[in-house]
């Protein structure tokens, strides 16, 4: 089993992602770290504890990460999307609380990287502050990361926090630029362009709810989350779960290598990810960007349901 660390800001779609990872036979979940984002750090930390407890993963160390961006303070959370409690207003349905935090996120991640017999996949499904700090303070550990899988950005689909910016990148653009542009760790970026295509409908959620207590709790978040993530149709995106599926089963999402840049200005474009899609040979660092025109979105949606309900013949 491939070793896996998840850095997360739970968050409704983060809950789906953690449930997916906890049930995946392909990976060994070595640690979860909580970062600020959808809600404040104390709440994301408590939610991570709730999810690990509900999923029966008290064996997984939990680290406490950054409570703010690297440089500029964030101007908003996502309570309008995820509810004040971060879990769709139904946090009490998730539990019991899992383990107390085992320390700082950077220390927890470093211990896993230092002691693993093989390189570790790091899935970053919140603001990239913790990842940027890790790579800045412990560059010796970069080679211990097999791959970064990042949920973030929007290449051409429009943003969800501004006309062009996606929430995770917008929450700390300086950290995102460090990770996506300046570093050299192999990276797969899963943007809104794809996750807004892999939406789920009421029938999908009903099937999930019928699968057992975990599925029932996840599906119970639908009302607040569907309203907050309104896409003009009766469908709900579960962004982070799409990225986690790729972390668990590499190659599930078809990707194209692109050079990217992150807007760190203080103007209206702050947090926008620009990708060079001119078709020329890249001249610098590239990241593998997952796009809907290259991915079977129906197959991804079906795979997510099979795995989350425990009805996967490959398990």
Q: Please identify every residue annotated as catalytic.
A: 239
Q: Tokens standing for 224?
A: 């607040």
Given a contact cutoff of 8 angstroms between Cβ atoms, the answer to whether 259 and 125 are in contact is no
**What are residue 168's DSSP bridge partners?**
none
SS3 assignment, position 201: coil
Given a contact cutoff of 8 angstroms between Cβ atoms, the answer to whether 253 and 188 are in contact is yes
Largest CA distance in the chain: 52
Q: What are phi and psi for residue 110, nearest 5 degrees? A: -60, -40
| H or E, element range at 193 | helix 192-195
> How far separated are the first and last CA of the chain, in Å rounded?
13
CB-based contacts of 163, cutoff 8 Å, min separation 6: 268
For 143, other C-beta atoms within 10 Å of its C-beta total: 11
């Amino acid at each position: 089993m491939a070793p896996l660390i998840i850095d997360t800001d739970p968050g409704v779609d983060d809950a789906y992602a953690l449930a997916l990872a906890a049930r995946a036979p392909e990976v060994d979940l070595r640690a979860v770290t909580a970062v600020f984002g959808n809600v404040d750090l104390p709440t994301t930390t408590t939610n991570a504890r709730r999810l690990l407890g509900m999923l029966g993963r008290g064996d997984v160390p939990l680290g406490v990460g950054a409570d703010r961006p690297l440089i500029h303070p964030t101007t908003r959370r996502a309570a309008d999307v995820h509810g004040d409690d971060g879990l769709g207003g139904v946090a009490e349905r998730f539990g019991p609380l899992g383990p107390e935090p085992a320390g700082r996120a950077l220390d927890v991640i470093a211990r896993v990287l230092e002691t693993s017999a093989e390189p570790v996949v790091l899935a970053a499904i919140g603001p990239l502050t913790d990842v940027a700090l890790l790579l800045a303070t412990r560059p010796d550990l970069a080679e211990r990361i097999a791959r970064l899988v990042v949920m973030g950005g929007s290449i051409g689909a429009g943003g969800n926090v501004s006309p062009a910016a996606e929430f995770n990148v917008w929450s700390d653009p300086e950290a995102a630029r460090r990770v996506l542009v300046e570093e050299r760790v192999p990276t797969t970026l899963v943007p809104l362009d794809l996750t807004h295509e892999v939406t789920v409908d009421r029938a999908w959620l009903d099937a999930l709810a019928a699968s057992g207590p975990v599925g029932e709790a996840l599906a119970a978040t639908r009302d607040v989350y569907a309203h907050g993530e309104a896409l003009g149709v009766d469908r709900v995106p579960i962004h982070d779960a799409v990225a986690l599926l790729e972390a668990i089963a590499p190659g599930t999402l078809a990707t194209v290598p692109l050079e990217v840049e992150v807007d760190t200005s203080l103007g209206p474009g702050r947090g926008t990810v620009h990708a060079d899609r001119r078709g020329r040979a890249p001249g610098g660092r590239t990241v593998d960007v997952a796009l809907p025109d290259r991915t079977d979105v129906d197959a991804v949606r079906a795979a997510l349901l099979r795995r989350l309900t425990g009805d996967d013949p490959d398990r």
